[in-house]
Amino acid sequence: MRKSKKGNEASQVIQEVKDYELDPEAMIQTFELAKIYNITEGIEIRALNGVSIDVKKGEFVSVMGPSGSGKTTLLNMIGALDNPTSGAVYINRTNVAHMDDKQRTNLRLKEIGFIFQFYNLVPVLSAYENVELPMLFAGKPKQEIEKNVNKFLDVVGLNEKRDHLPSELSGGEQQRVAIARALCNEPSILIADEPTGELDTKMGMEIVKLLRELNLELHQTILMVTHDPSIGALAERMLKMRDGKIIDTIITNN
């Protein structure tokens, strides 16, 4: 059956009002999120198969699960880096699907800080310049940039190595630079995909403990993917994923 474009839009709005109950305390809410990749004709991979999660403002939640269970796909949908096949993502009660390109770019630049497994620092820029980069993109005034870069390099304990290139820093130090970079625009959400994947357990624990301290102080909402149970347990709540679904939720005493 063919529907007019207008008719489709109207029914979509009605469906959302009816189905999606938004929680005023939630920073991130997903509803029946699905992502299907079509590898070749006739072969589909269901990377996400109906994920509904709810992360409160200021909450620190970890997502755990074996490789291929859909963790990165989930983060990509929440970070507005990719579109779901069906379902919805709300960030601070706004449906990401309803945002235009400019609003999405703004969301990624100003509201979300990203931390990755391989740090993703620019190799030819110093620690200071790497941290400064998102603020330059966001068009912040020079004074504010200087103040924030210094503040967050201090917070991660790296002001003394501000002029070092990434290649002159250890893995743990590079991840600290990446954390400072993610925080310098003062985002409301931090999204971290296996942030300790390249670090030994002791350094990994230190990095995530730092994230937890910052979370308690600055109240950003944190969603962190890890496959290491001792790292995941540092969050307030652990979500377990398998085959594109959340199969369990564990409240920790943190």
Ligand X SMILES: Nc1ncnc2c1ncn2[C@@H]1O[C@H](COP(=O)(O)OP(=O)(O)O)[C@@H](O)[C@H]1O
Separation CA 191–CA 78 (nearest Å):
9
- The reply to whether 196 sits near ligand X by the rule CB under 6 A is no
CB of 72 to ligand X, least distance (A): 3
The verdict on 72 binding Mg ion (CB under 5 A) reads yes
Closest by alpha carbon to 61, among 243, 228, 199, 240?
240
Question: Judged by CB under 6 A, does residue 45 bind ligand X?
Answer: yes
Closer Cβ to ligand X, 51 or 208, answer by number: 51
Give me the least distance between CB of 40 and ligand X, in Å please. 10
Taking CB under 6 A as the rule, does residue 118 contact ligand X?
no
CA distance 205 to 207: 5
Query: Considering Cα of 158, then 161, then 162, then 165, what sign does the dihedral take?
Result: negative
Region near ligand X per CB under 6 A, out of 22-30, 65-73, 108-116, 140-148: 65-73
Query: Pick from 116, 252, 229: which is nearest to 175 by CA?
Result: 116
What are phi and psi for residue 37, nearest 5 degrees? -100, 130
Burial of 139 (0-12, 13-18, 19+ CB in 10 A): exposed
Among 26, 28, 31, 70, binds ligand X (CB under 6 A): 70
Nearer to ligand X, 73 or 220 (CB): 73
Residues that bind Mg ion (CB under 5 A): 71-72
Residues that bind ligand X (CB under 6 A): 37, 39, 45, 47, 65, 67-73
